[in-house]
Chains A and B, each alone.
Chain A
């Protein structure tokens, strides 16, 4: 079964509005989650690292005021795309870091398709 769940799987919003995507870790706590963006037929690009209880760490070139990340609990991280524009349309994927005795393991969510019209 799914270890990391994203919601919504698909969302369409009007240009200028904000949209929130949730990433939940199921049955385990994740102090660290990651948000990626994937353009069609391209690879995943890390946007930011989300740390529970502290500010997210953004990768170079990612606008922190546009892509708001909140990791308010050990099982939930949210990505809010503010004042969305058509160029923000993309596939957004989160992942969660699980600390296992055998080592760190990363599980990915199912992804969320964002279309800005």
Chain B
């Protein structure tokens, strides 16, 4: 069985400041890892994913996450955030086949001007 822990339920930061959203997982098998973003009253959008290969994955809007197998982590980072990044961010894990997703509790990112 897999599980995901997002250590921070809320992260407030100032605009243009860097941010890191933490995600740790546990699994007895090889995993695929995902970050999803949910804007208010909307569904989920895939931000980025790690399936294999390079442990550093990047999204088109400046976010990146690094898969660290030894620390069982997949933290999400952005060097400079914008107001529009305000949203709920979910880390998720799946086993081989990348089908059933297990989600973390979510982290609410609030950007202050």
| B43-58 interface bits toward A, Cβ cutoff 8 Å, 1 = contact, 0 = none | 1111000010000000
- Known A-B contacts A42-B106, A108-B45, A110-B42; A32 and B99 likewise in contact (beta carbons under 8 Å): yes
CB of A42 within 8 A of CB of B101, answer no
* Cα-based distance from A44 to B36 in the complex (angstroms): 11
How many residues from B make CB contacts under 8 Å with A?
A: 19
* Cα-based distance from A93 to B41 in the complex (angstroms): 11
B51 partner residues in chain A, CB cutoff 8 A: 102-103
B106 partner residues in chain A, CB cutoff 8 A: 41-43
How many residues from A make CB contacts under 8 Å with B?
A: 24
* Cα-based distance from A35 to B100 in the complex (angstroms): 10
Q: Does B98 contact A (CB under 8 A)?
A: yes
| B95-113 interface bits toward A, Cβ cutoff 8 Å, 1 = contact, 0 = none | 0011111111110000000
B23-65 residues with Cβ-Cβ distance < 8 A to A are: 36, 41-46, 51
CB of B44 within 8 A of CB of A108, answer yes
CB of A43 within 8 A of CB of B104, answer yes
* Cα-based distance from A113 to B45 in the complex (angstroms): 17
B39 to chain A, nearest CB (A): 10
* Cα-based distance from A32 to B99 in the complex (angstroms): 9
- Known A-B contacts A103-B51, A103-B98; A44 and B46 likewise in contact (beta carbons under 8 Å): no
What is the chain A residue whose CB lies nearest that of B104? A43
CB of B43 within 8 A of CB of A106, answer no
- Known A-B contacts A32-B99, A106-B98; A6 and B90 likewise in contact (beta carbons under 8 Å): no
Q: Which of B36, B43, B98, B104 contacts A6 (CB 8 A)?
A: B43
What is the chain B residue whose CB lies nearest that of A9? B41
Q: Which 6 pairs across A and B sit closest by C-beta, in order of nearness? A: A108-B44, A110-B43, A104-B98, A111-B43, A43-B103, A108-B43
Q: A104-B97, A108-B46 are in contact. List 9 more A-B contacts (CB 8 A).
A: A34-B99, A42-B106, A44-B101, A49-B99, A49-B100, A106-B99, A108-B44, A108-B45, A109-B43
Chain A residues at the B interface, C-beta cutoff of 8 Å = 6, 32, 34, 41-46, 49, 93, 95, 97, 102-111, 113
Chain B residues at the A interface, C-beta cutoff of 8 Å = 36, 41-46, 51, 90, 97-106
